[in-house]
Amino acid sequence: MDSTQQGEAQFLETWRNPTGFPGWFSEVNNQPLGKRFMVTSFAFFLVGGAMALLMRLQLVSSENNFLGPEVFNQLFTMHGSTMMFLFAVPFLEGLALYLTPLMIGSRDVAYPRLTAFGYWTYLFGGLVFFASFLVGAVPAAGWFAYVPLSGRPFAGLEMDFWLLGLALVEIGGLVAGVEIVATILKLRAPGMTLARMPLFIWAILAAGLMIIFAFTTLLMATLLLEMDRAVGTQFFNPESGGNILLWQHLFWFFGHPEVYIIFLPATGIVSMVVAAFARRIVGYTLIAMAIIVTAFVSFGLWVHHMYTTGLPELSMHFFAAASLMVAVASGTQFFAWIATLWGSAPAFKVPLMYVLGFLVVFLLGGLTGVMVAVVPFDWQVHDTYFIVAHLHYVLIGGAVFPMMAGLYYWLPKITGRMLDERLGQWGFWLAFIGFNVTFFPMHMMGFFGMPRRVYTYPAELGLDFYNLIATVGSFILALGFLVFVVDFFISLRRGTPAEDNPWGSDSLEWSVSSPSPSFTFYAPPLVQSRHPLWHEPDPELEDPATARAREALRGAPAEFRATLTTDILTAAPEAVYRLAGPTYVPLFAALGLTVLMLGILGGWYTVALGGTAFTVAALGVWLWPNEMTLRTLRESDIGQRAGLPLFATGTRSTAWWGAVWLLVILATAFGVLFYSYYYIRLFATVWPQGDLPLPGLALPPIAYALLVGSALPIYWATRSFHRGERSQTLASLAASLFLGVVFIVWLVYELASLEYAMQDNAYASLFYVISAALGLLVLTALPIGACAFLRMRREHEDRKGFMALQMQITALFWFFTAAMGAIVFFVLYLSPHVV
């Protein structure tokens, strides 16, 4: 009895989140970090909203002189960037990070340290971004940062703040996306098959996957632009063979999915709230399918932002068709909610009110979206206030209202306090009415000739009346959000304590106490249906292996944080997975990256180099296996008790999946480079441009053959390792490393001996940058291989445990590098010779 109590106390202690000032920086648990994401992004939301109010004051009448052009342009740039990058996505990611483990029945997200790293990069990125106000160099090129306006010489230091700050924010968003995907795929409670996942989980799974592709594209685009600005590459400079439309393609290839990255999780919230209030969900499968279709199709819509750039007619029609198709997917979700609510006599509490407000507002925004998909119509309203109206109907109606619904719905679980119903209703009606008063007249302003992003307009356009209405509305809208903020703070102090399941909902998060404990579930829950809280699970039906695993994890293990990993499809238990506890390493890694960005910002390249070294060192500490942890794990009997491995390998291992997602990101990044290469080539009259010599075919094929061939010894190493042949394993690994080093040496020689510089023209820039990217990839593969080599000398007998996993990941990464080498060789060396 005593030992059980002792075990329980130790379990709670293991899961206790660090307290106090220093503890704040070592936090890795998803709940405090999810909250931080939400609070930080909501603060940015309020700042972005305040900027909007200032702009509305400037536009209240024609020829107004309240702000002047410079400040106005800065404000709309910062407003858009803040709302899109610093508020919408991080807020939803925060909500997802908080809720996912609770909803799927795991104890934390898949990579707790990565959660912290993502938060810190996001926070630091946001701070760098806003630091532009302190130095008086505020970005003013719009949230879309079209070149050449965002390039030199049209934009100065302020644009570097924008690019580098956002690069950090994007990294934060990207890792949170990976986190969400990996968690949903691997950490679901036993029995929660894909078809039993809550719809919110479906939605954020889709959004997470989209983030991986879309954010990587944006990250690469911002890197290319920053290189143009900082080191004089010519990707976007039309005078040296670059192409300004390349930026627009890359930006909107991110930018359109971005809208759905925001919208899909919002629909997930709506599905949950609707189901809770209607006490059922109709069309679950159709909704899930609609989510998947939307995610796919959203990557085929980007050109509808470019109808006026002078593209070929055929491509415009293709994108018009895709744009109309995505409306069908949204329509499906819409009618599923109507069918769900039909005759259910829901209680009109605040979460439902926001959902109903969402339905009306988003419907209108969706319909104007259908309108602008019609090509000639878009020619007229593109870049006018009609679009301003449309996008706010879609983003405020389609995302902010659902977020508010989600806050009123889930805050009781997060804070343990109910929000006030009366204040909530006031807030809703103010926001709903204020929203429509603000944005509805903007449709008309667009028709009457008011372009976007103008700080003023002549009286003769006859727009004063509508602008006055919109400005009045914007203050009503702001008041609505203010009421929520007040309500929130009152509830923290005096709110009614929340019950476990105040709304009578169906999903797992409502089965734990409010506020939710940091370990979420004392024992992994059992899931046998889509509505685990409505249909009491029947333990009789549980298979013995699952029962054993769940029982073994009841309040255990006590020595370290752990959760169950399960099969991607069937959610059958596969392993016990140790989760990282509090550590400062992610903070240091994020700090290093920030120093790197600040170094580039100021042109202090030694500082940048120092930041890089610091980041690499932090990553080294992060990734190098901790002997103490390994010992604790090896001494633990949790694996035997659960009947599951504690050291999982291959597809059972979250680490292996982490490596896969990293490679997906890298592949996307290289894809962006290849796309840029061929896009610029497509519009070049001669290739290579500027009569530069064709790439030589003497030495390069040999060097690239060595790189591609280095995959072979890695393969031998894996085989020998499994056979237990230590010396052969080591020799093979050494051979691969040697070939990799030879390639790097050759690459440096090759780039140094080229008779042109990367600043010469776009071709030269592409050649250098793609080569250098491959070089960086090899330089990353080398330490991974070296690490395997060093550990192999001692751990070669660990053929089923940690070393096996390390070998798998090493091989995976090395094979990827070899494959990328082959493609780069084709793109850079072979394809220019083919006419």
CB of 470 to other proteins, least distance (A): 12
**37, 45, 393, 455: which one binds other proteins (CB under 8 A):** 455
Establish if 335 lies at the interface with other proteins (CB under 8 A): yes
CB of 537 to other proteins, least distance (A): 16
Establish if 296 lies at the interface with other proteins (CB under 8 A): no
Q: Which of residues 591-610 bind other proteins (CB under 8 A)?
A: none
- In the numeric block, which tokens belong to residue 124? 């630091």
Q: Which of residues 365-404 bind other proteins (CB under 8 A)?
A: 367-368, 370-371, 373-384
Determine the 3-state secondary structure of 695 from DSSP.
coil
Contacts of 331 (CB under 8 A, 6+ apart): 366
Establish if 462 lies at the interface with other proteins (CB under 8 A): yes
CB of 21 to other proteins, least distance (A): 44
Residues 277, 344: contact at Cβ < 8 Å?
Answer: yes
Establish if 687 lies at the interface with other proteins (CB under 8 A): no
Q: Residue 282 or residue 600: which is nearer to other proteins going by CB? A: 282
Q: Residue 349 or residue 550: which is nearer to other proteins going by CB? A: 349
Q: Residue 344 or residue 759: which is nearer to other proteins going by CB? A: 344
Task: Please give the single-letter amino acid code of residue 294.
Answer: T
Q: Which of residues 772-791 bind other proteins (CB under 8 A)?
A: none
Establish if 283 lies at the interface with other proteins (CB under 8 A): yes
CB of 125 to other proteins, least distance (A): 24
Residues 761, 780: contact at Cβ < 8 Å?
Answer: no
CA distances from 434 to 33, 51, 52 (A): 32, 17, 14
**340, 566, 636, 689: which one binds other proteins (CB under 8 A):** 340
Task: Please give the single-letter amino acid code of residue 250.
Answer: L
The phi-psi region of residue 145 (left if phi > 0; otherwise alpha if psi is between -120 and 50; otherwise beta) is left
Q: Residue 26 or residue 529: which is nearer to other proteins going by CB? A: 529
Residues 123, 116: contact at Cβ < 8 Å?
Answer: no
Local structure of residue 75 (DSSP, 8 states) = H
CB of 233 to other proteins, least distance (A): 16
Contacts of 599 (CB under 8 A, 6+ apart): 605, 606, 607, 608, 609, 610, 611
Q: Residue 79 or residue 443: which is nearer to other proteins going by CB? A: 443
Establish if 749 lies at the interface with other proteins (CB under 8 A): no
**Which strand (E) or helix (H) includes residue 254?**
helix 244-278
Local structure of residue 155 (DSSP, 8 states) = S
Establish if 429 lies at the interface with other proteins (CB under 8 A): no
Establish if 461 lies at the interface with other proteins (CB under 8 A): yes
**338, 485, 523, 613: which one binds other proteins (CB under 8 A):** 338
Closest CA to 210 of 271, 262, 267: 262
Establish if 690 lies at the interface with other proteins (CB under 8 A): no
CA distances from 319 to 261, 373, 390, 564, 819 (A): 19, 8, 18, 44, 32
* Residue window 68-97: x/- pattern of binding to other proteins, with contact defined by CB under 8 A: xxx--x------------------------
Establish if 467 lies at the interface with other proteins (CB under 8 A): no
CB of 363 to other proteins, least distance (A): 6
CB of 311 to other proteins, least distance (A): 10
**Which strand (E) or helix (H) includes residue 578?**
strand 573-579
CB of 530 to other proteins, least distance (A): 11
Q: At what angle do helices 244-278 and 284-297 cross, to 10 degrees?
A: 170
Establish if 148 lies at the interface with other proteins (CB under 8 A): yes
Instruction: Report the distance separating Cα 24 and Cα 116, nearest Å.
Output: 11
Cis before 148 (ω within 30):
yes
Residues 431, 480: contact at Cβ < 8 Å?
Answer: yes
Query: How crowded is residue 99: how many other Cβ atoms within 10 Å of its Cβ?
Result: 28
Q: Residue 94 or residue 242: which is nearer to other proteins going by CB? A: 242
* Residue window 39-68: x/- pattern of binding to other proteins, with contact defined by CB under 8 A: ------------------------x----x
Q: Which of residues 603-642 bind other proteins (CB under 8 A)?
A: none
- In the numeric block, which tokens belong to residue 474? 């914007």
Question: What's the first-to-final CA gap in the chain, in angstroms?
Answer: 80
What is the size of the binding site for other proteins (CB under 8 A)? 99
Q: Which of residues 124-143 bind other proteins (CB under 8 A)?
A: 140, 142
Piece of 18-26, 280-288, 691-699, 770-778 that binds other proteins (CB under 8 A) = 280-288
Establish if 336 lies at the interface with other proteins (CB under 8 A): yes
Query: How crowded is residue 43: how many other Cβ atoms within 10 Å of its Cβ?
Result: 13
**115, 243, 438, 563: which one binds other proteins (CB under 8 A):** 243
Q: Which of residues 303-322 bind other proteins (CB under 8 A)?
A: 308-310, 313, 316-317, 320-321
Q: At what angle do helices 199-230 and 157-186 cross, to 10 degrees?
A: 150
Residues 281, 340: contact at Cβ < 8 Å?
Answer: yes
**16, 35, 452, 548: which one binds other proteins (CB under 8 A):** 452
CB of 456 to other proteins, least distance (A): 5
Q: Which of residues 476-535 bind other proteins (CB under 8 A)?
A: 534
Task: Please give the single-letter amino acid code of residue 64.
Answer: N
- In the numeric block, which tokens belong to residue 763? 């071709």
Determine the 3-state secondary structure of 222 from DSSP.
helix
Q: Which of residues 432-451 bind other proteins (CB under 8 A)?
A: 440-441, 443-444, 446-451
**134, 135, 231, 454: which one binds other proteins (CB under 8 A):** 454
Piece of 9-17, 180-188, 340-348, 623-631 that binds other proteins (CB under 8 A) = 340-348
CB of 247 to other proteins, least distance (A): 10
- In the numeric block, which tokens belong to residue 202? 């479906």
Contacts of 524 (CB under 8 A, 6+ apart): 105, 106, 189, 190, 549, 550, 553, 563, 564
The phi-psi region of residue 232 (left if phi > 0; otherwise alpha if psi is between -120 and 50; otherwise beta) is left
Q: Residue 18 or residue 462: which is nearer to other proteins going by CB? A: 462
Residues 515, 416: contact at Cβ < 8 Å?
Answer: yes
CB of 452 to other proteins, least distance (A): 7
Q: Which of residues 223-242 bind other proteins (CB under 8 A)?
A: 238-239, 242
CB of 402 to other proteins, least distance (A): 15
Establish if 360 lies at the interface with other proteins (CB under 8 A): yes
CB of 831 to other proteins, least distance (A): 23
CB of 295 to other proteins, least distance (A): 17
Closest CA to 245 of 607, 818, 762: 762
Determine the 3-state secondary structure of 50 from DSSP.
helix
Q: At what angle do helices 464-494 and 30-58 cross, to 10 degrees?
A: 150
Piece of 87-95, 465-473, 590-598, 784-792 that binds other proteins (CB under 8 A) = 465-473
